[in-house]
Amino acid sequence: MRQTLQRVETHRVEFENVWNNFVEKSAKDVDQHVQTYILVLDEHINKVFTPEVVEKIVKGAGGDGGDGGGDGDDDEKGKKKIEDLKGQPSQEPGQTNKIKLKLPWTYNGKKEESVLHWAAAIETYVYGQRIPYWDRVLMATSCMGGDAMSFAISLQKEAGCSSMVEYSQQTRVEDFLKLIRERFENKNLARRIEMLILSLPDRKWKSTSALKATMDELLQCPDHGLTPAQILNSFARALRIP
Protein backbone atom coordinates (compact mmCIF):
# COMPACT_ATOMS: atom_id res chain seq x y z
CA MET A 1 0.00 0.00 0.00
CA ARG A 2 2.83 2.34 0.92
CA GLN A 3 4.64 1.57 -2.33
CA THR A 4 1.50 2.28 -4.30
CA LEU A 5 1.13 5.68 -2.66
CA GLN A 6 4.76 6.48 -3.37
CA ARG A 7 4.28 5.62 -7.05
CA VAL A 8 1.16 7.80 -7.27
CA GLU A 9 3.01 10.68 -5.68
CA THR A 10 5.90 10.22 -8.07
CA HIS A 11 3.57 10.18 -11.09
CA ARG A 12 1.75 13.28 -9.80
CA VAL A 13 5.00 15.22 -9.59
CA GLU A 14 6.00 14.06 -13.06
CA PHE A 15 2.58 15.00 -14.45
CA GLU A 16 2.77 18.49 -12.94
CA ASN A 17 6.20 19.02 -14.45
CA VAL A 18 5.04 17.88 -17.88
CA TRP A 19 1.89 20.03 -17.67
CA ASN A 20 3.78 23.13 -16.59
CA ASN A 21 6.26 22.67 -19.42
CA PHE A 22 3.39 22.29 -21.90
CA VAL A 23 1.61 25.42 -20.70
CA GLU A 24 4.81 27.45 -20.75
CA LYS A 25 5.67 26.29 -24.27
CA SER A 26 2.12 26.95 -25.52
CA ALA A 27 2.19 30.48 -24.13
CA LYS A 28 5.50 31.15 -25.82
CA ASP A 29 4.15 29.79 -29.12
CA VAL A 30 1.05 32.01 -28.89
CA ASP A 31 3.13 35.07 -28.13
CA GLN A 32 5.38 34.28 -31.04
CA HIS A 33 2.42 33.92 -33.42
CA VAL A 34 0.88 37.20 -32.24
CA GLN A 35 4.12 39.09 -32.63
CA THR A 36 4.64 37.61 -36.09
CA TYR A 37 1.10 38.63 -37.15
CA ILE A 38 1.58 42.17 -35.86
CA LEU A 39 4.84 42.54 -37.78
CA VAL A 40 3.26 41.25 -41.00
CA LEU A 41 0.24 43.55 -40.59
CA ASP A 42 2.46 46.54 -39.91
CA GLU A 43 4.51 45.85 -43.02
CA HIS A 44 1.32 45.53 -45.10
CA ILE A 45 -0.07 48.83 -43.80
CA ASN A 46 3.17 50.64 -44.50
CA LYS A 47 3.26 49.17 -47.98
CA VAL A 48 -0.37 50.09 -48.87
CA PHE A 49 -0.85 53.39 -47.06
CA THR A 50 2.06 55.31 -48.44
CA PRO A 51 2.39 59.06 -47.71
CA GLU A 52 0.93 59.82 -51.15
CA VAL A 53 -2.15 57.70 -50.45
CA VAL A 54 -2.64 59.28 -47.03
CA GLU A 55 -2.41 62.76 -48.57
CA LYS A 56 -5.09 61.90 -51.15
CA ILE A 57 -7.39 60.57 -48.44
CA VAL A 58 -7.02 63.76 -46.44
CA LYS A 59 -7.79 65.89 -49.50
CA GLY A 60 -10.83 63.79 -50.38
CA ALA A 61 -12.21 64.30 -46.88
CA GLY A 62 -12.28 68.07 -47.41
CA GLY A 63 -8.89 68.94 -46.00
CA ASP A 64 -7.15 72.19 -46.73
CA GLY A 65 -4.07 70.64 -48.30
CA GLY A 66 -3.50 71.00 -52.08
CA ASP A 67 -5.96 72.04 -54.75
CA GLY A 68 -8.09 68.92 -54.18
CA GLY A 69 -9.50 69.00 -57.70
CA GLY A 70 -12.24 71.43 -56.65
CA ASP A 71 -13.44 69.24 -53.76
CA GLY A 72 -13.20 72.15 -51.37
CA ASP A 73 -15.47 74.27 -53.56
CA ASP A 74 -17.99 71.46 -53.87
CA ASP A 75 -18.01 71.09 -50.11
CA GLU A 76 -18.70 74.79 -49.65
CA LYS A 77 -21.52 74.63 -52.20
CA GLY A 78 -23.01 71.67 -50.39
CA LYS A 79 -22.94 73.49 -47.07
CA LYS A 80 -24.53 76.58 -48.62
CA LYS A 81 -27.28 74.49 -50.21
CA ILE A 82 -28.07 72.85 -46.88
CA GLU A 83 -28.25 76.24 -45.18
CA ASP A 84 -30.62 77.51 -47.88
CA LEU A 85 -32.88 74.49 -47.45
CA LYS A 86 -33.10 75.07 -43.71
CA GLY A 87 -34.98 78.30 -44.31
CA GLN A 88 -37.61 76.61 -46.46
CA PRO A 89 -40.67 74.84 -44.99
CA SER A 90 -40.50 71.08 -45.18
CA GLN A 91 -43.06 69.33 -47.36
CA GLU A 92 -44.02 65.68 -47.34
CA PRO A 93 -43.96 63.76 -50.63
CA GLY A 94 -47.29 64.18 -52.42
CA GLN A 95 -48.42 66.92 -50.06
CA THR A 96 -50.18 69.94 -51.57
CA ASN A 97 -50.01 73.36 -49.97
CA LYS A 98 -53.21 74.99 -48.81
CA ILE A 99 -54.57 78.07 -50.55
CA LYS A 100 -55.11 81.13 -48.40
CA LEU A 101 -58.84 81.88 -48.58
CA LYS A 102 -61.23 84.02 -46.63
CA LEU A 103 -63.78 82.14 -44.52
CA PRO A 104 -67.23 82.29 -46.19
CA TRP A 105 -69.84 84.51 -44.59
CA THR A 106 -72.75 83.17 -42.55
CA TYR A 107 -75.78 82.38 -44.69
CA ASN A 108 -79.14 82.82 -42.94
CA GLY A 109 -81.54 82.13 -45.79
CA LYS A 110 -82.74 85.73 -46.06
CA LYS A 111 -84.10 87.10 -49.33
CA GLU A 112 -81.33 89.67 -49.70
CA GLU A 113 -78.69 86.93 -49.48
CA SER A 114 -77.47 84.96 -52.49
CA VAL A 115 -77.47 81.24 -51.81
CA LEU A 116 -75.65 80.63 -55.11
CA HIS A 117 -72.76 82.89 -54.16
CA TRP A 118 -72.56 81.37 -50.69
CA ALA A 119 -72.55 77.78 -52.01
CA ALA A 120 -69.81 78.66 -54.50
CA ALA A 121 -67.75 80.22 -51.70
CA ILE A 122 -68.16 77.07 -49.59
CA GLU A 123 -67.06 74.80 -52.42
CA THR A 124 -64.00 76.96 -53.08
CA TYR A 125 -63.05 77.12 -49.40
CA VAL A 126 -63.30 73.39 -48.62
CA TYR A 127 -61.21 72.59 -51.68
CA GLY A 128 -58.60 75.29 -51.15
CA GLN A 129 -58.15 74.41 -47.47
CA ARG A 130 -57.93 70.67 -48.25
CA ILE A 131 -60.71 69.90 -45.76
CA PRO A 132 -61.39 66.13 -45.59
CA TYR A 133 -64.53 64.97 -47.36
CA TRP A 134 -66.14 63.73 -44.16
CA ASP A 135 -65.81 67.18 -42.55
CA ARG A 136 -66.98 69.37 -45.43
CA VAL A 137 -70.68 69.36 -44.60
CA LEU A 138 -69.79 70.11 -40.99
CA MET A 139 -67.70 73.06 -42.14
CA ALA A 140 -70.56 74.32 -44.34
CA THR A 141 -73.04 74.21 -41.46
CA SER A 142 -70.61 76.23 -39.33
CA CYS A 143 -71.24 79.07 -41.81
CA MET A 144 -75.03 78.85 -41.53
CA GLY A 145 -77.59 80.46 -39.27
CA GLY A 146 -81.25 81.36 -39.01
CA ASP A 147 -83.62 79.56 -41.37
CA ALA A 148 -80.72 78.00 -43.26
CA MET A 149 -79.35 76.33 -40.12
CA SER A 150 -82.82 75.16 -39.14
CA PHE A 151 -83.19 73.53 -42.54
CA ALA A 152 -79.78 71.84 -42.16
CA ILE A 153 -80.83 70.44 -38.78
CA SER A 154 -84.03 69.10 -40.35
CA LEU A 155 -81.93 67.31 -42.97
CA GLN A 156 -79.81 65.80 -40.21
CA LYS A 157 -82.86 64.49 -38.36
CA GLU A 158 -84.42 63.23 -41.57
CA ALA A 159 -81.27 61.19 -42.21
CA GLY A 160 -81.57 59.64 -38.74
CA CYS A 161 -78.29 61.10 -37.48
CA SER A 162 -77.82 61.97 -33.83
CA SER A 163 -75.43 64.84 -34.55
CA MET A 164 -74.23 67.06 -37.35
CA VAL A 165 -70.86 65.32 -37.16
CA GLU A 166 -72.47 61.99 -37.97
CA TYR A 167 -74.52 63.57 -40.75
CA SER A 168 -71.38 65.14 -42.23
CA GLN A 169 -69.55 61.81 -42.25
CA GLN A 170 -72.19 60.15 -44.42
CA THR A 171 -73.23 63.06 -46.67
CA ARG A 172 -71.36 64.51 -49.62
CA VAL A 173 -71.00 68.26 -49.56
CA GLU A 174 -72.18 68.41 -53.19
CA ASP A 175 -75.49 66.75 -52.27
CA PHE A 176 -75.88 68.94 -49.19
CA LEU A 177 -75.33 72.19 -51.09
CA LYS A 178 -77.74 71.03 -53.78
CA LEU A 179 -80.49 70.64 -51.17
CA ILE A 180 -79.69 74.06 -49.73
CA ARG A 181 -79.83 75.67 -53.17
CA GLU A 182 -83.12 73.99 -54.05
CA ARG A 183 -84.66 75.07 -50.78
CA PHE A 184 -83.57 78.70 -50.65
CA GLU A 185 -83.03 79.52 -54.29
CA ASN A 186 -86.69 78.81 -55.05
CA LYS A 187 -87.73 80.70 -51.95
CA ASN A 188 -85.74 83.78 -52.90
CA LEU A 189 -86.90 83.53 -56.51
CA ALA A 190 -90.54 83.51 -55.39
CA ARG A 191 -89.94 86.57 -53.27
CA ARG A 192 -88.31 88.38 -56.17
CA ILE A 193 -91.23 87.47 -58.46
CA GLU A 194 -93.66 88.80 -55.88
CA MET A 195 -91.81 92.10 -55.68
CA LEU A 196 -91.58 92.38 -59.46
CA ILE A 197 -95.33 91.82 -59.94
CA LEU A 198 -96.23 94.36 -57.27
CA SER A 199 -93.83 96.90 -58.76
CA LEU A 200 -95.22 96.66 -62.30
CA PRO A 201 -97.22 99.92 -61.95
CA ASP A 202 -94.02 101.77 -61.04
CA ARG A 203 -92.40 100.99 -64.37
CA LYS A 204 -92.97 102.80 -67.65
CA TRP A 205 -94.45 100.54 -70.33
CA LYS A 206 -94.32 101.44 -74.00
CA SER A 207 -97.18 99.12 -74.94
CA THR A 208 -99.79 96.78 -73.51
CA SER A 209 -98.24 93.81 -75.30
CA ALA A 210 -94.92 94.42 -73.54
CA LEU A 211 -96.69 94.54 -70.17
CA LYS A 212 -98.62 91.35 -70.91
CA ALA A 213 -95.49 89.51 -72.06
CA THR A 214 -93.68 90.47 -68.87
CA MET A 215 -96.64 89.43 -66.71
CA ASP A 216 -96.89 86.05 -68.47
CA GLU A 217 -93.19 85.44 -67.88
CA LEU A 218 -93.42 86.34 -64.19
CA LEU A 219 -96.43 84.10 -63.65
CA GLN A 220 -94.36 81.08 -64.72
CA CYS A 221 -93.31 80.92 -61.06
CA PRO A 222 -96.35 79.50 -59.23
CA ASP A 223 -94.99 80.06 -55.69
CA HIS A 224 -95.07 83.85 -55.71
CA GLY A 225 -97.64 83.89 -52.90
CA LEU A 226 -99.95 86.51 -54.44
CA THR A 227 -103.70 86.14 -54.75
CA PRO A 228 -105.43 86.54 -58.14
CA ALA A 229 -106.94 89.82 -56.91
CA GLN A 230 -103.49 91.23 -56.11
CA ILE A 231 -102.19 90.20 -59.53
CA LEU A 232 -105.14 91.76 -61.39
CA ASN A 233 -104.88 94.93 -59.35
CA SER A 234 -101.19 95.32 -60.15
CA PHE A 235 -101.82 94.60 -63.83
CA ALA A 236 -104.69 97.09 -64.01
CA ARG A 237 -102.65 99.84 -62.40
CA ALA A 238 -99.79 99.17 -64.81
CA LEU A 239 -102.21 99.49 -67.78
CA ARG A 240 -102.51 103.21 -67.17
CA ILE A 241 -100.05 103.99 -69.88
CA PRO A 242 -99.60 107.76 -70.30
Is residue 212 domain-shared with residue 179, that is, in the same domain? no
Please write the tens of the pLDDT for every residue from 4-15.
666 666 767 777
The total number of structural domains in the chain stands at 3
Q: d(Cα 74, Cα 133) in Å, to the nearest integer?
A: 47
- Do 214 and 167 reside in the same domain of the chain? no
* Model confidence pLDDT, tens digit, residues 135-164: 999 999 999 999 999 999 999 998 999 999
pLDDT digits (tens, 9 = 90+) for 168-217: 999 999 999 999 888 887 666 677 788 888 888 888 888 888 888 888 88
- Does 148 fall in a domain? yes
Residue type, 6: Q
147 neighbors 109 (Cβ within 8 angstroms) = yes
Same domain, 176 and 224: no
> For residue 141, what are the domain limits?
115-184
H helix or E strand, kind and range, residue 48: helix 2-48
pTM > 0.85: yes or no: no
Instruction: Determine, yes or no, domain membership for 72.
Output: no
Residue among 40, 65, 67, 38 at smallest CA distance from 54: 65
